Amino acid sequence: MTALQVNPAEVELSAMRAQGAGGQNVNKVASAVHLRFDIGASSLPEDVKQRLLALHDGRITQQGVLVIKAQQYRTQEANRLDALERLQALVDSVARPPRVRRATRPTLASRQRRLQAKSRRSGLKALRSRPAEQ
């Protein structure tokens, strides 16, 4: 299976000033990058789009737009590459469909271990109770 590549033409990048410490550089230079990727309008396969939209990720808006803010590096180019790598990593994480779980029955040994653990725990808790009066 070939890896899915995000089409750079479908990505909207905008530069802005970064937040936080950095002195004069952070006040003058627009080095942070805002990446916007419209999942619904992208050329990704339909099943990948559905899995992306199903993610419980705060970066995905209700309109289905993925917003990534990159401001880790001092240069705009490095932040742009970081944002694109994070977008690609997110797409790669949902590119392969999840494996279907087949229901299986617990083995005899695992059932016995479970019951032994329960009886051990029960005995331990029984020791905590007050002694019976005679």
| 127 vs 118: CA distance, rounded Å | 14
Domain CATH code at residue 19: 3.30.160.20
Q: Answer for the pair 11, 87: CB distance below 8 angstroms, yes or no.
A: yes
Q: Flag whether 90 is in a domain.
A: yes
Position 44 scores a pLDDT of 87
Q: Flag whether 42 is in a domain.
A: yes
The SS3 call for residue 58 is coil
Residue 103 clears pLDDT 80, i.e. is over it: yes
1 pLDDT tier (thresholds 50, 70, 90): very low
Question: How much is the mean pLDDT over the chain?
Answer: 87
Position 71 scores a pLDDT of 87
2 pLDDT tier (thresholds 50, 70, 90): low
Q: Which domain holds residue 81?
A: 8-95
Domain count, the chain: 1
Interval 58-79 mean pLDDT: 89
* Top-confidence range, 5-14, 89-98, 115-124: 115-124
Q: Flag whether 133 is in a domain.
A: no
Whole-model pTM above 0.75? no
Q: Flag whether 74 is in a domain.
A: yes
Q: Flag whether 53 is in a domain.
A: yes
Sequence-distant (≥ 6) Cβ neighbours of residue 70 within 8 angstroms: 32, 33, 35, 79, 80, 82, 83, 86
